[in-house]
Structure 1
């Protein structure tokens, strides 16, 4: 323990400062009352530094700071065994930490330290009994004044000294008034009274009964509201809003304080209006992808290029040259326009398209291997999103599955040993949505083709994502197999998705030999899964962009997002952050906006182990959890999808389009300022 005097603390010797050691207070901090917001470390020495207390308690002067609360109470009764004056002196000294024996002159000098021209009033001892009142308005020696300052606020001189006896004063507007001590109590460590719970706390039935009746709420629906929806629809939505409130009360997620605001007629009608307006909005609306996942399956995968949108706007109205030949006027395959482009881009003999790659795989198996065996490596029997499994597809197509190899390794002789007179197809499935690392191995597509030709069977290659050009050559830290590579190896039929790395609309691509494509077109299932005219118009425009690969970074948004460098993404993040900071400064100022480095992903099962280096704008809203802020951003009129890491909302700049910055700023303003999306 430290033996010397505290820093800036007067000596306890009577001759040094005129202040004697107060009984009890110096030996125990518990002598001071525990007041909310004030640390027990506020010792008696601090009191003596803040107030000039005389030795002789005949005249006590106390300067109160203007930002504190003064709590006045009548003193306790004098001890019957001592004279009243002595009792008064001892009780005042014990309470205020002042010893006896100093002169009145010293008290005057001591109390005037740091005083201004406005002298504080005196607290004079009285010889009256307990509870006595003085006509001169001064406080008896038995009375005491508890003074507490607000934490973190400086001490200031008072405008006046509050030394009025009488009824309990109201809490002043500038500070917190501690509870008054009992007149008969001398225990300064008495705890504060418990808080008073709001009405209805703990009584669920009382909270439920406090909800307004439907009849009262429906009367608040006026002519303006009836223009939006008929009365019957308002009734339905009002009942649903009340039902939501009941569910929150019963689950314990809404207490009486929040319910008092939510059950107000205006709030209930506003909730019903939001539900009605949301129903009026189209369901499949444009959203803002700020997740950093370029090919986000739940958000529509690839963002269509402007060329595709222009083609739809120009050619979608009216009628189209779909399945008719302009020269002879005869019926022609509807996909012939995209077929010509695939022949030019991949070198295939023929091509056709269906509604997605799952349909392409099933159709290929049904057309080429119905009731026949198909040999597949065990490690390639993948499952993708939505519980879509290759073994299930094969069973539905009518093909007979023949597994070879193990989970991590398959050899060429495994395929050869599995070939029988019932075998018609060797199939490779590219495991685009996962990777096996370590001790593993697979057979190259060239070796599979050579083995198949030796035995007179076909080869089907399901590439999944597929690619028309090398993305690794443009800076992406990974590679997907090219469609052209499989065709050049001699594969009979290649299937791939059109809305992944190709960046077009949802489509299943089938390219290969003329004989294989002819079998596919002749199968009855082909008509059931064919593409519509709008998909063909959009895909034709997208494929034409690949005829000029040097311009893809400017014309193809998916290619531009995949190949953007970290410096480019950082610049985009800074632009977005600057706009959000401006919005925040002009509104609530309650959001902290920063820019950090973050990892992005390709998505849609493509390059699952590759992380694209990027940047993200982080949002931290005061008084709001990150999950709540993310929810409000999603529920904006232009939904903004983000990610949440370590309780912080992240806006990944890689997937934010340049024309979406203003909408994000509007969504943030609505989420934080208005409180609703």
Structure 2
């Protein structure tokens, strides 16, 4: 029996839905078997709805809707959004926005071949990360560098390659859990290294490390509690004291900084308590690892810098091959490193620029948004649109208690949550906050070029809801 006969008369047949796609220029060349699978699923979904409410099914309307159904499922998986939350390194929104130079570099190099692993001077095979390791050496004054696909991978590689079957000391106050419920003890278990906890949650002294050392101890791992803070009755050994002691005992000292905070004056003024990669290197840590896509401002990557011999051991380990990065990550990271080598990095790297933006500039940006929004709305009775002080955050587990002075546009309404929902469904989607009955759009994370677009989206969301109410 054919599918068309089995389909209730109120529902379109599968071949009708397929034909509706063939009439669309952008869908005409889709694989027929894929469209057929989607058509079957579409009919099944509406068959279930028709059983509950037959009057809701209109055959002609469903045929017309099917191409959009296909586009929603097979179109671009990711869309640009406007981040009006005030969280700069918003993990759910891709963390650090990349500089526009990355796009130009991609256009120039990714549409053809490039010397990814080819030494143009010798004509022999080269190493893909060698040019970037060289730049990291000059930037951070280190002996060598290794790049893997994220900072968790960096920690896993260090523990697996250098400490498998050996003990590594970690303060109990630094047994972190990162996003996605990945916990440091689980990384240890996977690596084969033996985790030895020292001290207590709030107080760990140098004496605790000294007492925990055995013949099997190979290193101390310090992890920066970037996504939380322990305050009050606390103690932690000074890094220089830890370096001195580990060297005397012949142990390694590895520092997991996570955030990738760099010694940029404009950043330091905003986030004065956040330790930098340069500080850890100068103190004498054998290896320092950090994320590429946090305040370092680049693509997702785990960057390991430090002693040449240790980096060589990491590169020779079989796990390195599984964790190494692809050409797109390397190209983006190359651009970001070029910017970090310049004194204008705070102006040219989006994440750094956002964190460092003066509040006076943000106030002017918020006022412009208010003006454009009111102009687009026209007269709306009882609608109060205000420019208000607000707080921005670095996000991405960086400086969790550091509040950055900011500005926002706030609109009070009992339907603020419905406006926020409409904004998320808009084009482009806007991610804003709803607090105390107000829709809040923080402009710290909205680029000046996006202000007119945000004003239009806000006006459409508000007008659309007002029209429905009327």
Secondary structure of 2:138's aligned partner: helix
Post-superposition Cα deviations, 1:166-186, rounded to whole Å, max 9, x if no partner, equal: xxxxxxxxxxxxxxxxxxxxx
Residues 482 and 232 (structure 1), Cα distance of their counterparts in 2 relative to 1, 3 Å cut: closer
Q: Work out whether 1:339 is the aligned partner of 2:144.
A: no
Partners of 2:61 and 2:375 in 1: CA distance: 30
Partners of 2:61 and 2:195 in 1: CA distance: 60
Partners of 1:529 and 1:572 in 2: CA distance: 42
Aligned to 1:159: none
- Given candidates 614, 632, 638, the residue that maps to 2:406 is 614
Aligned to 1:488: 282
**Conserved? CA contact 2:261–2:296, under 8 Å:** yes
**Conserved? CA contact 1:377–1:405, under 8 Å:** yes
Partners of 2:61 and 2:376 in 1: CA distance: 27
Secondary structure of 1:218's aligned partner: coil
Residues 650 and 272 (structure 1), Cα distance of their counterparts in 2 relative to 1, 3 Å cut: farther
Deviation at 1:469, TM superposition (A): 1.3
**Conserved? CA contact 2:20–2:63, under 8 Å:** no
Secondary structure of 1:602's aligned partner: strand
- Given candidates 177, 181, 199, the residue that maps to 1:405 is 199
1:163-202 equivalences in 2 (<5 Å): none
Q: Work out whether 1:523 is the aligned partner of 2:328.
A: no
**Conserved? CA contact 2:88–2:394, under 8 Å:** yes
Post-superposition Cα deviations, 1:395-424, rounded to whole Å, max 9, x if no partner, equal: 111100100000000010110111110000
Aligned to 2:422: 632
- Given candidates 547, 563, 566, the residue that maps to 2:356 is 563
Deviation at 1:620, TM superposition (A): 5.0
Residues 325 and 455 (structure 1), Cα distance of their counterparts in 2 relative to 1, 3 Å cut: same
Residues 338 and 521 (structure 1), Cα distance of their counterparts in 2 relative to 1, 3 Å cut: same
Deviation at 1:633, TM superposition (A): 1.4
Partners of 2:18 and 2:192 in 1: CA distance: 62
Give the CA RMSD over aligned residues: 2.9
Aligned to 1:605: 397
Partners of 2:103 and 2:200 in 1: CA distance: 46
Post-superposition Cα deviations, 1:610-669, rounded to whole Å, max 9, x if no partner, equal: 111111122456xx7322222221122322111111232221101012232343344335
Aligned to 1:306: 100
Aligned to 2:209: 415
From the CA coordinates, give the structure whose radius of gyration is larger: 1
Secondary structure of 1:215's aligned partner: coil
**Conserved? CA contact 2:116–2:327, under 8 Å:** yes
Q: Work out whether 1:240 is the aligned partner of 2:45.
A: yes
Q: Work out whether 1:478 is the aligned partner of 2:272.
A: yes
**Conserved? CA contact 1:348–1:511, under 8 Å:** yes
Aligned to 1:467: 261
- Given candidates 175, 185, 202, the residue that maps to 1:391 is 185
**Conserved? CA contact 2:18–2:39, under 8 Å:** no
Partners of 2:449 and 2:442 in 1: CA distance: 15
Residues 436 and 365 (structure 1), Cα distance of their counterparts in 2 relative to 1, 3 Å cut: same
Aligned to 2:453: 663
**Conserved? CA contact 2:129–2:330, under 8 Å:** yes
**Conserved? CA contact 2:299–2:329, under 8 Å:** yes
- Given candidates 581, 593, 596, the residue that maps to 2:374 is 581
Partners of 1:445 and 1:233 in 2: CA distance: 59
**Conserved? CA contact 2:226–2:398, under 8 Å:** yes
Partners of 1:545 and 1:656 in 2: CA distance: 21
Aligned to 2:30: none
Partners of 2:382 and 2:425 in 1: CA distance: 20
Deviation at 1:582, TM superposition (A): 2.2
Greater RCO, CA 8 A, separation 6+: 2
- Given candidates 429, 433, 440, the residue that maps to 1:650 is 440
Secondary structure of 2:180's aligned partner: coil
Deviation at 1:310, TM superposition (A): 1.7
- Given candidates 316, 330, 348, the residue that maps to 2:124 is 330
Post-superposition Cα deviations, 1:210-256, rounded to whole Å, max 9, x if no partner, equal: xxx96335389797665246687456436536757989x9xxxxxxx
Q: Work out whether 1:554 is the aligned partner of 2:359.
A: no
Residues 659 and 279 (structure 1), Cα distance of their counterparts in 2 relative to 1, 3 Å cut: farther
Partners of 1:591 and 1:272 in 2: CA distance: 39
Partners of 2:37 and 2:267 in 1: CA distance: 61
Secondary structure of 1:581's aligned partner: helix
Residues 569 and 241 (structure 1), Cα distance of their counterparts in 2 relative to 1, 3 Å cut: farther
Aligned to 1:435: 229
Aligned residues: 449
Residues 662 and 590 (structure 1), Cα distance of their counterparts in 2 relative to 1, 3 Å cut: farther
Partners of 1:644 and 1:510 in 2: CA distance: 40
Residues 590 and 276 (structure 1), Cα distance of their counterparts in 2 relative to 1, 3 Å cut: farther
Residues 464 and 234 (structure 1), Cα distance of their counterparts in 2 relative to 1, 3 Å cut: same
Unaligned runs of 5+ in 1: 1-212, 250-258
Aligned to 1:195: none
Post-superposition Cα deviations, 1:259-312, rounded to whole Å, max 9, x if no partner, equal: 99x767787677656533322420022221111100011111001011222211
Partners of 1:241 and 1:632 in 2: CA distance: 25
Residues 583 and 239 (structure 1), Cα distance of their counterparts in 2 relative to 1, 3 Å cut: farther
Unaligned runs of 5+ in 2: 1-6, 28-34
Partners of 2:276 and 2:364 in 1: CA distance: 32
Aligned to 1:281: 75
More helix by share: 2
Partners of 2:321 and 2:36 in 1: CA distance: 46
Post-superposition Cα deviations, 1:57-87, rounded to whole Å, max 9, x if no partner, equal: xxxxxxxxxxxxxxxxxxxxxxxxxxxxxxx
TM-score, normalised with respect to structure 1: 0.62
TM-score, normalised with respect to structure 2: 0.87
